[in-house]
Amino acid sequence: MSNRYKPWLSAAFLLVVAPLEATKATEVIDEIVVTADFRERSLREVPFSVSVLGADFVDDVSVQHFEELVNVIPNMNWSGDGHRARYFQIRGVGELEQYLGAPNPSIGFLIDDIDFSGIGTLATMFDIESVEVLRGPQGSRYGANALGGLIYVRSAAPATDYSGRMEVSVGDDNAVSVGAALGGAIGNNKIASFRLSAQQFNSDGFRDNPYLGSDDTNARDELSFRALVDVNASETFTARFAVIASNIDNGYDAFALDNSYTVLSDKPGRDTQESVGSSLRLAWVPGNNLTLTSISSFASSDINFDFDADWGNSDSWSPVTYDYVSLNRRARDTLSQEVRIGNDDWVVGLYGMQLREGVATVNQGDYYDPFYDFADSLNERLDSDYEATNIALFGQRDWSPSEYTTLSAGLRLEHRSTDYVDTTDMAASLSESMWGGELGISRTLGNGQNLYVTLSRSYKAGGFNLGPVPGGKRNFDTESMWTVEVGLKADLMAQRLQLNTSLFHNRRINQQLRTSTQLIPGDPASFVFFTDNAGDGTTVGFEADIRFFVSDRWELYSSIGLLDASLASGRRQAHAPTYTLAGGVVYRHHNGLYARLDATAKDEFYFDVSHDEKSDAYELLNARVGFENEDWKISFWVRNLLDEKYPVRGFYFGNEPPDFPNTLYIRPGDPRQLGITLERRF
């Protein structure tokens, strides 16, 4: 273990152990419920590794987007490839980017049962009830789109009593946010209830562009709307209808030639996502302790991702002419249906999903070197249409041979067929069958303590690479992953101390890796990405979420993630830091005064598999202090308190004429930001 992060582990250990001698508190931790599984269960009863972030935690730790919560989740990372995080890595598994079609995510992302896997840009956090991060294989429950795990976001639920909130935030970088939520019963009989929420967020984006005389070429303009309707028609029939509409219209001017916050591009890009979606969840109890559940959903998204490929302007490269842009348009529609029946001991079901995606990519540019009298130009366009259909049959069975022991088994059989065509006359079809599942045993050791052991298999479909790729890299094969996990979940000290720990070992078979290369030196638009199979990889790790109420005023939490994720070559996987640590202290006085300090730390990690450049290890501090009562809440907050410069994405290639030396370019995360939030509750 590196000496560099031993002090952090010691601090995390002390954060948990030192308070054990504190005076006993009368307040207990509310039961945490996991909803992303087949049935709702308490966190302690779930036999796999999962982090659940409740509404209060989400409100106090994030300002606007899910990317601000990633660092508090053990063994999780994100790729700052676009303006907002849309690609996530759990235990080293997950994509870093996608420029061309054929989506094939390793990490599922759902909001209110609507699938936005691989397009998580719309994950704003206003009026959210909980965020559940399921770490590791989800072979039985979610199949091909959850090889490495799942993120499940739930909006605030409707209530029969009328209530609402209004929230206004202002902060550095000209940040302004206005949000409102309202809910209550529909009609006098209170059979149905609703919840509506809307929020608009704007900021300048933490970049200055002196060439254009602008400080908002990387601006954020994020509008979100959510609606939920619950119907409790009888004791045996319930329904929930959800609607999401989101318009994320962000600039994209994030990379600078000197890796600073001062950019020089003359054609700033855009990173936008306009999405609408809905879901309908029906639950009927026909009798004999059975529950029939139907989940229907659809989503439609239009995504634009444009960028200045040379990151400069005519003055930057003079006397060389060097001017390139890349324009990417994506339209994705998904339709899914799941039907299952079961009780507390077993469940069987059928799932179907259809995905259609059209992509239009345009790369344009001109190059002229007067010293060598060399000129080149580029004007390429690729239009593609892609369609995938997934059909899955799944089941899970639990047995209890004794009062304290539960055995479980799950199986999922999935068939996937795909068709692709583009304007280069390329046409491809793929049809394959896959399977995944798990065997597990859990044992109640005492009051509030559960030990589990699970063997699971997950899978990810094969496919084909689009556009120009190196020779022999057109197709790639199916990947599977075997995982052994041992975990302990415990509620101790009259439920004031909660432990959620796990040890795991993954074996990735025929591992798919997204790599990159520059096909033509000196042509930034020829910097291509493709998926390749890279043999077998191995991952070993440890995770812990710990929460402790020291007294009725003090709360402590910590999370620890240790990871050794290796490729077949023995090198560590990309975006898989050896450690991710987080800890915080929260103080709440009975008069309404509260304060919190949150610290996170992350080890260095490789930026990609195509080169050996790494990030630096870094630590971040966030703080918040405020006052609240039943009607009002005011808080002063600061993110990145010490103004640490840290990377969220890195590329290593040649982008500076006339010699185009390979150089590491990083995108730094947001600098220090201070703000104030005022909330009115009613």
HSE of 618 in the Cβ direction (CA atoms, 13 Å)?
Answer: 17
State both tokens at 3.
């000496």
Q: For residue 526, what pLDDT is reported?
A: 66
User: With 60 as the cut, is the pLDDT of residue 465 above it?
Assistant: yes
Question: Residues 6 or more apart from 373 whose CB is under 8 A from it?
Answer: none
**Taking residues 75-104, what's their average pLDDT?**
85
Per-residue 3-state assignment (H helix, E strand, C coil) for 356-405: EEEEEEEEEEEEEECCCCEEEEEEEEEEEEEEEEEEEEEEEEEEEEECCE
Q: For residue 29, what pLDDT is reported?
A: 55
B/e letters for 311-348, b = 16+ CB within 10 Å, e = fewer, are bbbeebbeebbbbbbbbbebebbbbbebebbbeeebbe
Question: Residues 6 or more apart from 618 whose CB is under 8 A from it?
Answer: 601, 602, 644, 646
- CA distance linking residue 496 with residue 25, whole number of Å: 8
Q: For residue 30, what pLDDT is reported?
A: 66
- Read out DSSP for 250-263? EEE----TTSSSB-
Q: What is the pLDDT of residues 356-384, one digit of tens each?
A: 999 999 999 999 999 889 999 999 998 99
Q: What is the pLDDT of residues 300-358, one digit of tens each?
A: 999 999 999 999 999 999 999 999 999 999 999 999 999 999 998 999 999 999 999 99
State the CATH architecture for 6-681: Beta Barrel (2.40)
User: With 70 as the cut, is the pLDDT of residue 154 above it?
Assistant: yes
CB contact at 8 A, 33 and 42: yes
Q: What is the pLDDT of residues 60-77, one digit of tens each?
A: 999 899 999 999 999 999
CB contact at 8 A, 64 and 122: no
Per-residue 3-state assignment (H helix, E strand, C coil) for 179-221: EEEEEEEECCCCCEEEEEEEEEEEECCCCEECCCCECCCCCEE
**Taking residues 221-246, what's their average pLDDT?**
96
Residue 11: pLDDT band (50, 70, 90) is very low
Residue 239: pLDDT band (50, 70, 90) is very high
User: With 70 as the cut, is the pLDDT of residue 472 above it?
Assistant: yes
CB contact at 8 A, 242 and 226: yes
Q: How many residues does the chain have?
A: 682
CB contact at 8 A, 47 and 452: yes
Domain residue spans of the chain: 6-681
Q: What is the pTM of this model?
A: 0.92
Mean pLDDT check: name the lowest of 10-24, 427-441, 483-497.
10-24
End-to-end Cα spacing for the chain: 51
